[in-house]
Amino acid sequence: MTNKLAKTNILGAPSWKFLLLSATLFFSYAIPAYADSHEEAPAKEPIAVEAQPGEAPPYKDYEEFAKSDGFEIFTINNLWILIAAFLVFTMHLGFATLESGLCQKKNTVNILFKNVFIISIGIITYAFYGFNAMYPGDMIVDGVGDWNGYFAMGSWFGVDNNDVTMVTDAYNPGYPWWTDFLFQAMFAATGATIVSGAVAERVKLGSFMIFATLFVGLAYPTAGSWKWGTGWLDQMGFYDFAGSSIVHAFGGFGALACVLVLGPRKGKYTENGLRPIPASNFPLATIGVFLLFLGWFGFNGGSVLSADPRTVAFVCVTTALAAASGALSSMVCSYLACKKPDLSMALNGILAGLVGITAGADSVGIADSIIIGLIAGAIVVYSILFFDKLKIDDPVGAISVHGVCGIWGTLAVGIFSEEYTVGTQLIGTLSYSVFAFVFAYVVFSILKMTIGVRVTEEEEERGLDITEHGQEAYGS
Amino acid sequence: MTNKLAKTNILGAPSWKFLLLSATLFFSYAIPAYADSHEEAPAKEPIAVEAQPGEAPPYKDYEEFAKSDGFEIFTINNLWILIAAFLVFTMHLGFATLESGLCQKKNTVNILFKNVFIISIGIITYAFYGFNAMYPGDMIVDGVGDWNGYFAMGSWFGVDNNDVTMVTDAYNPGYPWWTDFLFQAMFAATGATIVSGAVAERVKLGSFMIFATLFVGLAYPTAGSWKWGTGWLDQMGFYDFAGSSIVHAFGGFGALACVLVLGPRKGKYTENGLRPIPASNFPLATIGVFLLFLGWFGFNGGSVLSADPRTVAFVCVTTALAAASGALSSMVCSYLACKKPDLSMALNGILAGLVGITAGADSVGIADSIIIGLIAGAIVVYSILFFDKLKIDDPVGAISVHGVCGIWGTLAVGIFSEEYTVGTQLIGTLSYSVFAFVFAYVVFSILKMTIGVRVTEEEEERGLDITEHGQEAYGS
Amino acid sequence: MTNKLAKTNILGAPSWKFLLLSATLFFSYAIPAYADSHEEAPAKEPIAVEAQPGEAPPYKDYEEFAKSDGFEIFTINNLWILIAAFLVFTMHLGFATLESGLCQKKNTVNILFKNVFIISIGIITYAFYGFNAMYPGDMIVDGVGDWNGYFAMGSWFGVDNNDVTMVTDAYNPGYPWWTDFLFQAMFAATGATIVSGAVAERVKLGSFMIFATLFVGLAYPTAGSWKWGTGWLDQMGFYDFAGSSIVHAFGGFGALACVLVLGPRKGKYTENGLRPIPASNFPLATIGVFLLFLGWFGFNGGSVLSADPRTVAFVCVTTALAAASGALSSMVCSYLACKKPDLSMALNGILAGLVGITAGADSVGIADSIIIGLIAGAIVVYSILFFDKLKIDDPVGAISVHGVCGIWGTLAVGIFSEEYTVGTQLIGTLSYSVFAFVFAYVVFSILKMTIGVRVTEEEEERGLDITEHGQEAYGS
């Protein structure tokens, strides 16, 4: 019975949808391959650590480079950015456990499967397309770039092994290209993971996999290039240190669009008002939030893009303070709002503080970070209650945590830092939010009209684990 | 029904208790603020890496410092201490999962909530008060200090951003002040977390939150300053490398006091003898212990306070050997005592070995570390059985693991290292144990007499998750 | 009732078996101690960082060494290898959670206990015997070694603290001996852990503990010395970067032997065909695989044996790409084979990719790593189905993941790298597989004939947690 259901219901119905998925993957390779042979490839000549644009790399070979004065710092930078990449990787485990802990037992396998898929497809698409699309790199060489600042075609990420210093003409002169790729690839997958939680418990697996592939493989690097690839928002003076907007608001408002297309879970909003759907496993959710907190030290600390002791230390402290004050603030606010000390709100408070500090972790003051966290922790509580009032069903609170607090964090840079203005910050954060929302809305709507995005009522009732996977999360 | 209970019973009964908590927080800021304006602020002029006391910092600005000879090592030190801070942070997840795994399902949300609170309030109070209270710093400058060696008033931790090398007149010349703060803040919260496990399943949430705030915010930095702030125990020749006494015996004997005030869980000690209350989730508890083992590499390894390869490597090896031998010893002893291979004892054996080696990880021999672990692993088994005989109910064995093995580890330094004497070690470890015990006993007794420290019998029966939080840990 | 069962059935029956275990431990110390006093001890004079064989160490003392030019890099290397050791340690938590997640609830405590034991005994035996047996070290000094290249007697691992640079005549000139030990000790325990999963749910605890002690304490360092200790396979030109064969095929084929001796779980293969035994806890298993993925960055990245930025970054990227492509490939293949998106296969696909890349992570190309992962992800699916057809019951798929993919990964080096030949790679990987198989088969058969290796049918039915440990994994 179980197996029969599993057979007939996966990915909607016919297995050609898996072919569609494969086609998508192929497509993300074919386009750049085509592009590579039809346009001049983006200039990827190595620029050595201290070389000026246009100069030749100053080292004959790697051995000579290894004896140079800057090599120790180069090595330390590399080590730190790699470790930061590992920490950001850990966040994916954090998301997997948080989301599966906050949802119902019967959809746990489905959530875990999606998370395994997202980190995998995220790394692979970033290698085939995303990295070079997000960091076209020419801007730094030419002063004014020969890409338009809005969209650069991606391509296979690999560099020539003969590059002496393994650095590129993109933004990172201080550590190797490969490290750069790994760190950024771990970031890339985060956006789609945020959506994963919001659409959980009723989304059709195959449709989500297609959406996630496009969202992480195409939309994220395009939008990311606007700021981090030195595109139009960067030139306008917009600042987003580690991605309150570029990653979190992007993911959060992509999630909002998907949830609007998808609709709420069956039975959540009834005639008699909201019927809460309790979390299935709070220890799992708590593990998730602690791992996200841990990983955020890499997310923010690694975004310094070097191991510079002053900045990295500062960033880690603002990150920790915002997380801690976010938790305390959420505890108080949710107590005031719900008259009980709510664990899920406390957990979301930590995340809210972290999302809030992400845009300005290096540029606001130490005390400001506490204020940013306190406000984020309050925002997330009322935002979650607000979306529930609107009957927008987000099982894990992702829209509030990542979307709303992502906007707050971006604006906070304009408020607390003298260098940046609230106006530019607003333009930037809205650009990311609106772009992600529109992209997600369009793609998800097309999927809805073609292969469908939502499981049947019966499948939702029985749970996606049995109906999509033929597996139960908790056996005997 | 559930919600009604939750509403009426949180924090005892009326919500003014939350106000009390807020007042406590405010208090921890107001006092130092007052103090700051009424006494000469503790001297916080930066002392550069190689500057002698009294000398001016040798670097014009950070850029000059960054070009100096010591900057690479400064950067490596910073990286290691930051990573050590992340590892100690991981221990808080370890405590959360260990404690919730060893207790009953019905109290899981409560335990997790406490752990989220402790790490948050620990970081915040340490920023507002604790760090400067624990490391007054003058001693190093003046030879004889202008604080009394027993108690220094704390204050806001921040340093002037203009400090060229970001180091202070406290004990850490080798890496930035902020890194120092983060590492020590992660330590600070540990003491209160140890108590959390021992009082689990019957303590009133609000009372515990007040207690934890005072314990981590006030008692810990005061006692910590005696040794690590170069106070009276330091001058006496007492040695506690990473805190067998300062953190673990401190937490363990604070826990003992609270448990004595609180009494055992209902139904544990019956007329017919001890009725074991089994663990609810052994995988969770095992995750906890492995994470604690992992985190301890940062706890001990980071306590080297530099990345010096010889010492850090040595410390990590003694740490691992003591943990491994502690586990093996506990397996054998618990098998001899209980005639079965007991998982919880094996897990406690790892922790016992770790607590045991903490005081002397850098100063005992490699083979000594195995002996210390073997003895700690034996002690913890018989100590747990002993406290159960005394009807002192400690659901997670925290008093034995941290308290008793903390004393053992501190004495072991006197036994195995030629530099330190058993007598001085005994004075030191008793000072920490007695201080923590008395402080906890007094505070917890006052709380008992005022707002109460224990939930009602009915609440204990139903579980704190429903009655205090209106949430269940494991849903459907 | 429970307790009575627990008392009478542990370790077979009588407690003299625990004595046997103790004797084994003692034995592993006595032999080397005897050996030490009857043969010339292996030359362990320190060789300084840049000293040539035969030269005296160039530094007077550690302080002088610390001022030398190479000390920064030495410090960075040390930090990275230590962190890599922590990451490999994390893999043991990964194995513990993966195995307990994939097995039945009733055997969870047993699995966790075994994992706690293995990491502990692995570290201890490696200190007493394994490290010096695996890295005899003379080869490098003398050109041709004075050990035979097949077997070197181990001994207590400690070095003279007076060694100025703490490095040895073994393969590691770039970081301290103790760090080297810790990193390699974490590796050592992995082999036995792999077996642990395959024999789960029916193996007798005491017998497994004896087997694991010999497998990790004796067989692993002996076989490891053939390549990493510069033994006969190393001299033949065999290459295995981080242990596709030395660790994984070794563990996987040891597991196969044990499973053949032990037989399948009761009720798995019935007259009516295979009856799947579902996983008890998929979130736990997923945590395990993510932690293994994380830890593998240390497993492979640390095997660079320095923090060289070019190589470490490259290795981490090939590792991540192989894992990601392994997952995607397993998802597709298991979908084609089973017509459903199978989470356990996706998880095994990650591991397959990781095992596959381990032998050549530093020497195949970036694109090759994706191909290796894709093939490994396919292999693991069909291999698991194949072994099930043969009625070889491996609850966690360890034989396929580690054994079969370990061979694939080793051969892949011969295919994708120009330096190494498929022929030599085949000889090497078969040497490890056959040796592990034979060793495990002989030892496990002897144990079967003497104290037995399998619990009774009744015990298997009730579960090992109750019958061996008197504990249940998930309480109330």
Minimal-distance CA residue of chain A relative to B86: A294
Cβ pair C281:A116 closer than 8 A = no
In the structure, how many helices (H) and strands (E) does chain B have?
A: 21, 2
* Residues facing A454 on adjacent strands: A203
Please give the Cα distance from B347 to B285 (Å, whole number). 8
Chain segment A309-337, per-residue pLDDT in tens:
999 999 999 999 999 999 999 999 999 99
Name the burial class of residue C415, with classes exposed (0-12), middle (13-18) and buried (19+) by CB atoms within 10 angstroms of its CB.
middle
Cβ pair B116:A347 closer than 8 A = yes
Instruction: Please tell me the predicted confidence (pLDDT) of residue C161.
Output: 47
Instruction: Please tell me the predicted confidence (pLDDT) of residue B60.
Output: 81
Of A140-154, A164-178, C150-164, C360-374, the least confident: A140-154
Instruction: Please tell me the predicted confidence (pLDDT) of residue B170.
Output: 54
What tokens appear for A409 in the block? 């964090």
B469 touches chain A (CB under 8 A): yes
Contact in structure between B320 and C179 (CB atoms under 8 Å): no
Residue with the bigger pLDDT between B6 and C408: it is C408
Contact in structure between A372 and A252 (CB atoms under 8 Å): no
Instruction: Please tell me the predicted confidence (pLDDT) of residue A278.
Output: 95
Residues of B in contact with C474 (CB under 8 A): 280-282
Contact in structure between B330 and B380 (CB atoms under 8 Å): yes
Cβ pair C283:A108 closer than 8 A = yes
B120 touches chain A (CB under 8 A): yes
Q: Which of B89, B115, B121 sits opposite A328 (nearest CB)?
A: B121
Please give the Cα distance from C440 to C453 (Å, whole number). 12
Cβ pair A307:B78 closer than 8 A = yes
Angle of helix A71-102 versus helix A177-198 axis, rounded to 10: 10
Please give the Cα distance from B340 to B330 (Å, whole number). 11
Please give the Cα distance from C370 to C357 (Å, whole number). 9
A119 touches chain C (CB under 8 A): yes
Alpha helices in B43-176 (DSSP H): 62-66, 71-102, 108-125, 131-134, 138-142
Residues of C in contact with A108 (CB under 8 A): 282-283
Please give the Cα distance from B44 to B39 (Å, whole number). 14
Chain segment C365-382, per-residue pLDDT in tens:
999 999 999 999 999 999
Residue C384's contacts (CB-CB under 8 Å, 6 or more residues apart) are: C345, C348, C394, C397, C400
How many Cβ atoms sit within 10 Å of the Cβ of residue C205? 22
Of C5-9, C233-237, C325-329, the least confident: C5-9
Please give the Cα distance from C60 to C368 (Å, whole number). 47
Instruction: Please tell me the predicted confidence (pLDDT) of residue A159.
Output: 67
How many Cβ atoms sit within 10 Å of the Cβ of residue B2? 14
Of A339-353, A439-453, C170-184, the least confident: C170-184
DSSP string, C340-368: S--HHHHHHHHHHHHHHHHTTTTTS-HHH
Q: Which of C76, C317, C346 sits opposite A113 (nearest CB)?
A: C346
Q: Running DSSP on this structure, what letter comes out for residue C470?
A: S
Contact in structure between A405 and A423 (CB atoms under 8 Å): no
Q: Which of B75, B470, B471 sits opposite A73 (nearest CB)?
A: B75
> Which is nearest to A187 in space by CA: A131, A149, A256, A112?
A131
- The amino acid present at B286, given as its one-letter code, is T
Mean pLDDT of C6-35: 41
Residue A69's contacts (CB-CB under 8 Å, 6 or more residues apart) are: none
Please give the Cα distance from A29 to A34 (Å, whole number). 9
- For the four alpha carbons of A245, A248, A251 and A254, in that order, the dihedral sign comes to negative
B121 touches chain C (CB under 8 A): no
Alpha helices in B126-272 (DSSP H): 131-134, 138-142, 177-198, 205-214, 220-227, 232-236, 250-262
A22 touches chain C (CB under 8 A): yes
B330-340: b (≥16 Cβ within 10 Å) or e: bbbbbbeebeb
Cβ pair A316:B74 closer than 8 A = no
B-C CB pairs within 8 A amount to: 176
Residues 157-216 of B with CB under 8 A from A: 158, 166, 175-179, 181-182, 185, 205
Minimal-distance CA residue of chain C relative to B79: C79
Minimal-distance CA residue of chain A relative to C369: A124
Name the helix (H) or strand (E) containing C313: helix C309-338
Residues 267-306 of B with CB under 8 A from C: 278-283, 286-287, 289-291, 293-294, 297, 301
Instruction: Please tell me the predicted confidence (pLDDT) of residue B363.
Output: 96
Residue B344's contacts (CB-CB under 8 Å, 6 or more residues apart) are: B102, B279, B282, B285, B397, C471
**Mutation choice for C interface testing from B77, B100, B102, B282 by most C CBs within 10 A:** B282
Instruction: Please tell me the predicted confidence (pLDDT) of residue C146.
Output: 62
Name the burial class of residue C209, with classes exposed (0-12), middle (13-18) and buried (19+) by CB atoms within 10 angstroms of its CB.
buried
Q: Running DSSP on this structure, what letter comes out for residue B171?
A: S
Residue with the bigger pLDDT between A288 and B160: it is A288
> Which is nearest to C181 in space by CA: C210, C160, C159?
C159
Helix, strand or coil for residue C289? helix
Mean pLDDT (chain C, rounded):
87
- How far off is chain A from B422, nearest CA to CA, in Å? 38
Of A418-422, B159-163, C453-457, the least confident: B159-163
Cβ pair A309:B78 closer than 8 A = yes
Instruction: Please tell me the predicted confidence (pLDDT) of residue A148.
Output: 84
Residue B416 zone, left/alpha/beta (φ > 0; ψ -120 to 50; rest):
alpha
- How far off is chain C from A465, nearest CA to CA, in Å? 10
Percentage of chain B beyond pLDDT 90 is 74
Cβ pair B281:C119 closer than 8 A = no
Instruction: Please tell me the predicted confidence (pLDDT) of residue A170.
Output: 55
How many Cβ atoms sit within 10 Å of the Cβ of residue A260? 15
Residues of B in contact with C79 (CB under 8 A): 76, 79-80, 307, 309, 312
Give Cα A439 to chain centroid, integer Å: 15
Contact in structure between A103 and A279 (CB atoms under 8 Å): yes
Instruction: Please tell me the predicted confidence (pLDDT) of residue A306.
Output: 94
> Which is nearest to B85 in space by CA: B131, B27, B51?
B131
Total residues belonging to chain B? 476
Query: pLDDT category, C224, cuts 50, 70, 90?
Result: very high
Determine phi and psi for C398, rounding to 5 degrees: -65, -35
Instruction: Please tell me the predicted confidence (pLDDT) of residue B14.
Output: 39
Residue A1 has pLDDT above 50, yes or no: no
Chain segment A39-56, per-residue pLDDT in tens:
333 333 333 344 444 445
C327 touches chain A (CB under 8 A): yes
- How far off is chain B from A347, nearest CA to CA, in Å? 8
Residues 75-114 of B with CB under 8 A from C: 76, 79-80, 83, 87, 104-106
Of A44-58, B385-399, C79-93, the least confident: A44-58
Cβ pair C313:A78 closer than 8 A = yes
C320 touches chain B (CB under 8 A): no
Half-sphere exposure of C397 (CA within 13 A, CB side): 31
Mean pLDDT of A171-191: 87
Q: Which of B119, B182, B469 sits opposite A317 (nearest CB)?
A: B182
Q: Which of B106, B282, B309 sits opposite C473 (nearest CB)?
A: B282
Minimal-distance CA residue of chain C relative to B323: C120
Cβ pair B321:C124 closer than 8 A = yes
Cβ pair C474:B280 closer than 8 A = yes
A348 touches chain C (CB under 8 A): no
Contact in structure between B471 and A343 (CB atoms under 8 Å): yes
Residues 137-156 of C with CB under 8 A from B: 156
Cβ pair B346:C113 closer than 8 A = yes
Query: pLDDT category, C57, cuts 50, 70, 90?
Result: low
Residue B236's contacts (CB-CB under 8 Å, 6 or more residues apart) are: B424, B427, B428
Span between the terminal Cα atoms of chain C, in Å: 18
Residue C37 has pLDDT above 50, yes or no: no
Please give the Cα distance from B470 to B456 (Å, whole number). 16
Instruction: Please tell me the predicted confidence (pLDDT) of residue B163.
Output: 65
Please give the Cα distance from A28 to A129 (Å, whole number). 7
DSSP string, B303-360: GGSS--HHHHHHHHHHHHHHHHHHHHHHHHHHHHHHSS--HHHHHHHHHHHHHHHHTT
Of B356-365, B443-452, C28-37, the least confident: C28-37
Please give the Cα distance from C453 to C240 (Å, whole number). 33
Chain segment A125-157, per-residue pLDDT in tens:
999 999 989 988 654 434 445 678 898 888 888
Residue B94 has pLDDT above 80, yes or no: yes
Q: Which of B6, B11, B472 sits opposite A278 (nearest CB)?
A: B472
Instruction: Please tell me the predicted confidence (pLDDT) of residue C163.
Output: 65
B379 touches chain A (CB under 8 A): no
The ipTM assigned to this model is 0.89
Alpha helices in C46-107 (DSSP H): 62-66, 71-102
* Helix %, strand %, coil % of chain B (to 5): 70, 0, 30
- How far off is chain A from C408, nearest CA to CA, in Å? 21
Distances (CA, A) of C62 to B175, B309, C58, C166, C405: 21, 11, 11, 9, 45
Instruction: Please tell me the predicted confidence (pLDDT) of residue A23.
Output: 46
Contact in structure between B72 and C72 (CB atoms under 8 Å): yes
DSSP string, B359-409: TTTTTS-HHHHHHHHHHHHHHHHHHHHHHHHTT---TT-HIIIIIIHHHHH
DSSP string, C111-145: HHHHHHHHHHHHHHHIIIIIHHHH---HHHHHSS-
Per-residue three-class SS string for A114-163: HHHHHHHHHHHHHHHHHHHHHCCCHHHHHCCCCCCCCCCCCCCCCCCCCC
**pTM of this structure:** 0.90
Name the helix (H) or strand (E) containing C274: strand C273-274
